């Protein structure tokens, strides 16, 4: 039996806690978690929609009942098809996080493999993510390759 399971609405607070672990590890510790309360209702709704375009997979913490040890979340997006990718389904991975006291046990890899299967089942022809230096070896071992993409971003 796999340790990985699909996150449920009751996991939302723990999912946000692990997202904060990821944010802190990439951007430095940010004591502001005021946004969690505003994010929680939407996250619960997304977690309650098993046929939606969002999925989170988790591993329960083996030493702390009610806590999560690892999280991987992703969305399925549609881009107009093109040659070599006619269906246009693209997966995007974000919020890969493992609780600091549960690292080096293969939890993030197991969650990633489950999320990649979820993307395949939904017809994604490719999967994208942004990585930290610390996370890059995991993704490279799963077949991800750097892409020199001239990404621009506008915050609204």
Q: Taking the domains of the chain in order of start, what are their residue ranges?
A: 4-141
Q: Which of 43, 65, 38, 42 is nearest to 56 (CA)?
A: 43
pLDDT at 39: 94
Residue 115: enclosing H or E segment and its boundaries? helix 107-121
CATH class of domain segment(s) 4-141? alpha beta
User: What is the per-residue pLDDT across 7-52, written as a single tens digit (0 to 9) for each?
Assistant: 999 999 999 999 999 988 877 766 677 888 999 999 999 999 999 9
Q: How confident is the model at residue 133 (pLDDT cuts 50, 70, 90)?
A: confident
Whether the Cβ atoms of residue 97 and residue 22 lie closer than 8 Å to each other: yes
Q: What is the DSSP letter of 11?
A: G
User: What is the per-residue pLDDT across 59-116, written as a single tens digit (0 to 9) for each?
Assistant: 999 999 999 999 999 999 999 988 988 889 999 998 999 999 999 999 999 999 999 9
């Amino acid at each position: 039996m796999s340790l990985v399971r699909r996150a449920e609405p009751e996991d939302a607070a723990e999912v946000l806690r692990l997202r904060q672990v990821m944010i802190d590890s990439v951007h430095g510790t940010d004591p502001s978690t005021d946004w969690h309360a505003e994010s929680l209702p939407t996250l619960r709704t997304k977690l309650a929609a098993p046929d939606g375009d969002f999925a989170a997979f988790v591993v329960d913490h083996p030493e702390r009942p009610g806590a999560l040890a690892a999280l991987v979340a992703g969305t399925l997006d549609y881009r107009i098809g093109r040659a070599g990718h006619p269906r246009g389904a693209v997966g995007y991975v974000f919020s890969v996080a493992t609780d600091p006291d549960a690292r080096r046990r293969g939890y993030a890899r197991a969650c990633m493999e489950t999320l990649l299967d979820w993307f395949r089942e939904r017809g994604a022809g490719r999967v994208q993510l942004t990585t930290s230096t610390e996370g890059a070896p995991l993704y490279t071992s799963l077949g991800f390759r750097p892409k020199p993409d001239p990404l621009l971003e506008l915050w609204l």
